[in-house]
Amino acid sequence: MRTIGFSKTFYRQTASARRSVCLHFYQPLKLSNIMTYDQEIRSSKVVLMEFYASWCPHCQRMMPVVAQVKELLDGRANVCQLDIDNNKEAAEAADVRSIPSFLIYVDGKEAWRHTGEIDGEVLLSKIESFL
């Protein structure tokens, strides 16, 4: 049985390493324009797009969860993380009003959206339902 998420135990054990872990998995993606965002959501049959901000505590708690989901997907779906401070046009194009926001695109069309923290198992099963 796999476990994805952020239990209090997980954070206590990784509190000192959390910053380096987050920086390792959260490579900010800077898109040059809306056309690039459109290309990104069409880059794979299924794409998970997360909009976050580095200063957002909810986004920071989701960092290891998204990293685990990405690892478990093992390339079956593209996982992109966009910092809204660096990608304002893309956030506006996706009509993102709150963070973290998770959008799943299937064949370039939005199929699902969630705003706020979400359990890793729920996020993974939602992505897998579109594969």
CB 84 within 8 A of CB 98: no
CA atoms within 13 A on the CB side of 33: 1
56, 72, 93, 111: which one is catalytic? 56
80 annotated active-site: no
Angle at 98 between CA 69 and CA 120, to 5 degrees: 20
CB 48 within 8 A of CB 89: no
22, 31, 47, 59: which one is catalytic? 59
Rg, C-alpha atoms of the chain: 14
22 annotated active-site: no
Positions annotated as catalytic residues are 56, 59
